[in-house]
Chain A
Amino acid sequence: MRRVAVIGAGVTKFGKHDRTSAELFAAAAADAITDAGIAPSAVQALYFGNVTGGETERQLHMGPLAATLLGLPTVPTTRFENACATSHAAFRHAVMEIASGVSDVVLVGGAERVLNVPTESATEFFAYCSDASIEQPAGLTFPGVFALIARAHMDKYGTTEEQMAHVAVKNHRHGVLNPKAQFQKEISLETVLKSAYVADPLKLFDCCPFTDGGAALVLASEDVARRHRRPIWVLGTHAATDTMFVHEKRDLSRVTATERAAQGAYRQAGKTPTDVDVVELHDCFTIAEIVATEGLGFFEPGTGGLAAEKGWTSLGGKLPVNPSGGLKAKGHPIGATGAAQIAEIVTQLRGEAGPRQVGGARTGLTHTLGGNTATVLVSLFGRD
């Protein structure tokens, strides 16, 4: 298999937009192509991610539309949908297209627009990513899924609501340093702890927001990337799936798909958790970050809450997690999130992250979780 590099990245401002998903992606893609310094005509394929466009915009077949609005209407496109892990899944397939020798330059990313519909509609559409036979009729929501996980983690390890709140406070502190973030405002521990319950024990400030935004990456083969001034190498990328049914998870305090995806990515990259300098991981809810830091092998099971409380995952800590502000503060346009996380790691490994730069970062990891923990992708990146 051929080596693959990320040579360009583009991300729109995250927040509320009056542009469509396809427009948001096209804007991010044009920025990524400019960043890569390639001619637009060099793009040989587009792997595009979007989740709720059929519901929020009455728009399917969005891949060709995105290519058309980008101004590359004849580029072959495929749309991906893997819930919140959508564009990370698209990324893995784009990597494989180049690694296999089919193409030399592939554009990949995604976009989402949900702030044009009421919150209760967005909550309904996101719940479509859980099972429609048992879970949706019972009224299970996404905060509900992670509340079940949080309760199990609290019961098993003694994790506290205050430890979860530390994740939110930290990611908001990081978000202040990211001009693309939806929220660039610090919050206090008290603000989190006094916010209203959405699904006990998760409160409003334990939850990431609904977000509009787009993100895109230009991937290239080694031959092309070597002519580029700053390639960031894909060291490993692995996908794992688990049962769709929450009741079939063997242990609700763990996300086994994260553990399997991480093991695969580390093995492919020839790296271990201690080699990682900077992480962008899927903090859709505060408990999700705690469980992910354990599943990725950074902290022992049951100590992710302590790591958040002690500041080990803060900028300046032993392993900075979500320097971008994470899904919590940067925002979570679900079709764009995986690509946006990779864009942040690319920026970090280039040493261009400004006030949120992790000093001397050489190896970065991204982790994206889809739906009710049924889909997880983990990728590792390195610089020359």
Chain B
Amino acid sequence: MLNELVKHGLRFIGLILVQGLILKNMEVGFMINPFLYVLFVILLPFELPAWIGLILAFLLGFFVDLFYGTMGMHMAACTLMGWARPAVLRFMMPRDGYEFGQQPTMQDMGRMWFLSYAAILIFIHHFLLFYIEIFSFREVGMTLLRILISTIATLLLVVVTQFLFYRAPQRT
């Protein structure tokens, strides 16, 4: 339990720093902005009470906003994402529920499940974030294109971290 707490805490801090100090300044081309830090919300454990997840997402957004100097934008997007997470989990629940001790990772839940789960949450987050950033209806189509492209970029990074940080499944 304590071990888990430390792991999630380190991930919280680590992802904020990676986002604020490295990814923010990366210019990938064609206005792609990956927001890897949402991985923290994606990987929150199944059994975590929904309201704690919501508040954690809110705090995550707050710290990222500090780095971007955009007070409120990431907070709003993360809060929406934290609110949608339990619903998405319910929607994607396997027939006999989630097993105890399972984590929402690619290794535990399989590729298809993880990809669709992560893609939905990332899209929700990016959708609100990019439209708040524009805050007008002038560039609607262009922004939608950016949202889709950045969602794919973030998803790609999320998958890469899954391969980097988790060992091969230990199935017996």
On whether the two chains bind one another, the answer is no
**B positions within 8 Å CB-CB of A:** none
